[in-house]
Amino acid sequence: MQKRKLGKTNLEVSALGLGCMGLSFGFGPPVDKTEGISLIRAAVERGVTFFDTAEVYGPYTNEETRRRRPRSFRNQVAIATKFGWKIDPSTGKQAGLDSRPAHIKDVADASLKRLKNQRHRFVLSHRVDPNVPIEDVAGAVKS
């Protein structure tokens, strides 16, 4: 599997990644968790080290399934998670955009708990929020 270095960092990931949205959201009913874990294991065994998830997938359940990856994979893979959606807590549905710095921090903290990680390799903006200056978003993501 070819590798790529991301940006100006030393983080190297597989050139081919696995977008995990379809395991719990968007393309019919969620995949059985055991099947999802088997798929992730097979991807890692084939050299995939970049996985993409987001709180909005499920919502929340996609990140929870990613945390069930085998512990032996923990240092081999980079999991990207995304922010940008406001999720209505009573319905679990998307309720607009929210990229305010405080919300980004809340999303990142909650994601770490769901993934059972101590830090994120990287966090991405899922959608541009026209109500928040890009400088504010960039500052929040760097901290």
3-state secondary structure 28-78: CCCCCHHHHHHHHHHHHHCCCCEEECCCCCCCCHHHHHHCCCCHHHCCCCE
* Cα gap 77→6, rounded to integer Å: 14
Give strand pairing partners of 78. Answer: 50
Catalytic residue list contains 57: yes
Q: Rounded to an integer, what is the distance from CA 141 to the centroid of its chain?
A: 14
Active-site residue, from 51, 57, 83, 85: 57
Residue type, 21: M
Residues annotated as catalytic (active site), given as ranges: 57
